Amino acid sequence: MRDDSQPSFDVLSSAWTTSFTEFAASYSPGVLPWGRSLPSASPADEIPHATTIIVATCAGGVVMAADRRGTSGNMIVQRDAEKINRVDEFSCVGAAGAGSFGKELTRLYAVELEHYEKLQGRSLSVEGKANRLATMIRSNLPLAMQGMVVIPILAAYDETRDAGRIFTYDVGGGPYETDHFHAIGSGSVFARGAMKKLYREGASSDEAVFACVQALYDAADDDSATGGPDVTRKIYPRVAVITSEGFRLLSDDEVDTHVRRMLDGRMSAPDGPTAPLS
């Protein structure tokens, strides 16, 4: 007599797939974010949202920076939100949109990459990482259509190119590789506008970090959902640098140095540095 309490052969054999999400979907789909259904009265507008995240390439790597504000409607619900997530030694993901779903998606993505590496004995290529994340975003489309939108951005160091790479997405997946810099979230249009004047190809990681801090300040200046640096509470943007040495999250003291330098300059030039006309 068959014991239905035990996993079937098909489920057990699927454990050998290199995709953790495929295995989870066959064994227990309810554990996946998109394996659940929302109540008819969707609370999407009440869920805290993460806002502005900016990414820029630098000499031999890539920088990701994010503000710390979480909002729900017109209310600030968190001042020290964490929006940058390390997913492996040479990659990180920032997620704008529904905060809780963004965290769940990026944690699952980190498990996805680790699962592949354990089974294959090697890490995915950068293109493989970008495509795996695209598949997961596509799976979330039904919930996105109900308001649980999560828009991630992937930053990775490519060992074969000795360079940083940036991949962006829409709610249907993607991915779209972007050169130089990109931003997501409600303040992204202002951050990208600032980076058009501040970005320098081949800049050092310190120069790229400073440019990102400037761009986040401009975003906070024009977008109420983006939080600027809070020097009284010592809440600063989160900044990560990925190079051949791996992922590194800058300490508050390191970011404080960039923030105070930026604020000193804004005392005499409130709109920030200007770009030459020629």
Residues assigned a catalytic role: 51
Nearest C-alpha neighbor of 153 from the set 106, 114, 209: 106
Distance CA 278, CA 275 (A): 9
Distance CA 75, CA 93 (A): 25
Beta strands per DSSP E along 47-204: 49-50, 53-58, 61-66, 70-72, 75-78, 84-88, 91-98, 150-158, 163-170, 173-178, 181-184
Distance CA 256, CA 270 (A): 19
- DSSP three-state, residue 148: coil
Would you say 83 and 183 are in contact if contact means Cβ atoms under 8 Å apart?
no
What is the end-to-end Cα distance of the chain in Å, rounded?
82
What is the H or E stretch that residue 249 is in?
strand 246-249
Q: Which burial class, exposed, middle or buried, applies to 166 when counting CB atoms under 10 A from its CB (0-12, 13-18, 19+)? A: buried
Nearest C-alpha neighbor of 212 from the set 43, 55, 18: 55
CA distances from residue 114 to 25, 127, 240 in whole angstroms, order as listed:
17, 16, 20
